Amino acid sequence: MDATRRARRTRRADVVTYLVRAESVKSPGRGWRGLELASDLFLDEVHDILTTLYGWQDKRRYRFGSGADFERRDSEHYLCRTEVLKRLRGIPDDEVRLDEVLIGRGDELFHRYGARPEWQRVLRLEAIAERRPTSARVLCVGGPERADIEAVNLSLSCFGFGVARDPDLDFEDLPEGLVQLSRQHHGRPRRLLMNLIAQAMLTRPVRIDRATAADFTRPFQSVLRHIGPDGVFALDGEQVPLAVALAIFKESDMQERWDDSEFHGDIPIPVRMLLESAEEIGLVRREFDRIVLTDAGLDLREDPLSLWWYLADQVSARVARASFGDPILLYVLAAATETDNVVETVAPVLEALDYPVWLGSGGTGDQVLGLLRETRPLLRFLHMTPRDQFIYNTIQHPAMRMFALAILRRWPRLNSNPPAVI
């Protein structure tokens, strides 16, 4: 197949599934992977996929090449952002879609990571299939025996499902912060943002039953129950009695999310943090030498469904007013999607919007969670952060997605009137 055939072509009118084989150019068959890819992926996204597949950690320059051979002068090269900024010869890879360079069966696309030839891969189109709205945008379907396909697909779930497009929504139906971000950014950053909005399916109804709401809000319910209508004596005017603190700790299953290193003194640190959060969001208050329930706390003490919505209101209102609220809004948006790894899903969007997140580094999770700032403890008690501080794809509470959606439904709109709760 000659180089002319490989030049960019018009994008497909429809979106299909490409069955692609990726393997080393120098050693065919080595490290191969079979992939099902949405044909509307951009090449910068394809690089992100390869990085996930092969576990590449270092941030290096890379480029794609389309032609009979990567090194030939008549080959067309598609450059990463670093090379674009250096004004090297080529086309920005975030402007080129996969279906512009892979057209028919047998077409090939080269990818070089860094400058060494042994890091060069070839992506070969082997088949084309119809696509469904529920199809994963990226799915690994084959590889060497030692490859953990299930673990790879768990990581790839952050690319979402269906077709990448602007959500079919009136901007007046979106949280004001998302509207502002979509207007401020263009190109890859906006594309990643709009794809994340589409994956969150913001128009679906918020469905929550009393039992699930009670389990989800258990830490705050425990505080309300143990403080009670009469309040409790506050040690030194600050802390609850030890027996109350230990009861709250046990009932809130804090032993699953905090280790012994976070116990200093008599009162467990997470209980102190929980009480501070409850005070900040208006459920309890200090009154001389006692801690008592506020009027809101008294009203919500035995009503988990109302407490659920009260907490969603508090998160949305507090973050919407904050000067650092955009990363938190994006984190909540990612939590509303079907991903199993919120950190990994939101990290590429944050990086594209120039937040200090270095993809592929060992500290990516800490960097993302660090952007939550003062709201991190509150979100931790609401099951919105990973259960394990070192493993960011640990299973979340089954109601996390619905609660994230509830927060987004309560977020201020451009007309200051959030949509009615269903």
Say whether both 143 and 189 belong to one domain: no
CATH number (domain holding residue 91): 3.10.290.30
- Whether the per-residue pLDDT at 383 is higher than 80: the answer is yes
Say whether both 203 and 288 belong to one domain: yes
Say whether both 220 and 288 belong to one domain: yes
The residue count for the chain: 422
Q: Please choose, from the candidates 345, 338, 316, the residue with its C-alpha nearest in 3D space to the C-alpha of residue 329.
A: 316
Q: Please tell me which residue, 393 or 124, carries the higher pLDDT value.
A: 124
- Whether the per-residue pLDDT at 28 is higher than 80: the answer is no
| Tokens standing for residue 112 | 């070089």
Q: Are 339 and 349 in contact (CB under 8 A)?
A: no
The string of pLDDT tens digits covering residues 321-337 is 877 889 999 999 999 99
13: containing domain: 3-159
Least confident interval from 6-20, 177-191, 246-260? 246-260
Structural domains in the chain (count) = 2
Q: Is 370 helix (H, G, I), strand (E, B) or coil?
A: helix
Say whether both 170 and 144 belong to one domain: no
- Whether the per-residue pLDDT at 379 is higher than 70: the answer is yes
Q: Please choose, from the candidates 49, 143, 147, the residue with its C-alpha nearest in 3D space to the C-alpha of residue 359.
A: 49
CA distances for 264 relative to 45, 65, 351, 389, angstroms: 45, 57, 36, 19
The string of pLDDT tens digits covering residues 296-318 is 999 999 999 999 999 999 999 88
The DSSP string of 16-58 is -EEEEEEEESSSTTTT-EEEEEETT-BHHHHHHHHHHHHT--S
Q: Please choose, from the candidates 134, 113, 119, 177, the residue with its C-alpha nearest in 3D space to the C-alpha of residue 327.
A: 177
- Whether the per-residue pLDDT at 103 is higher than 90: the answer is yes
Say whether both 284 and 241 belong to one domain: yes
Average predicted confidence (pLDDT) for the chain: 83
Of 140, 159, 178, the last residue of a domain is 159
- The rounded Cα 370 to chain-centroid distance in angstroms is 14
In 295-390, alpha helices (H): 295-300, 304-321, 325-335, 342-352, 364-370, 376-381
Say whether both 211 and 340 belong to one domain: yes
Say whether both 383 and 312 belong to one domain: yes
334/201 Cα distance (integer angstroms): 11
Of 93, 127, 159, the last residue of a domain is 159
Say whether both 118 and 258 belong to one domain: no
Say whether both 183 and 321 belong to one domain: yes
Q: Are 385 and 332 in contact (CB under 8 A)?
A: no
Say whether both 124 and 199 belong to one domain: no
